[in-house]
Amino acid sequence: MELDLKDKVVLITGAARGIGLETAGCFAAEGAKLMLVDRDETALAAAASQIEGSGCIAADLTADGAADAIIQKTVDTFGRIDVLINNAGISEPAPIAGTSPESWRKVMAVNLDAVYLLSRAAMPALGRSKGAIVSLASFAGKRGTLFGDNTSYSTSKAGVIGFTRALAIEAAKVDVRVNAVAPGPVATELIKALTPEQLKRVTDYVPLGRMAEPREIAELIVFLSSARATYITGEVVNVNGGLYMD
**Catalytic (active-site) positions:** 153
d(C-alpha 45, C-alpha 33), whole Å: 16
DSSP annotation of 9: E
Q: Annotate 173-237 with DSSP letters as a single string.
A: GGT-EEEEEEE--B-SHHHHTS-HHHHHHHHHHSTTSSPBPHHHHHHHHHHHHSGGGTT--S-EE
Length of the chain: 246
Cα-based angle 201, 202, 205 (whole degrees, multiple of 5): 90
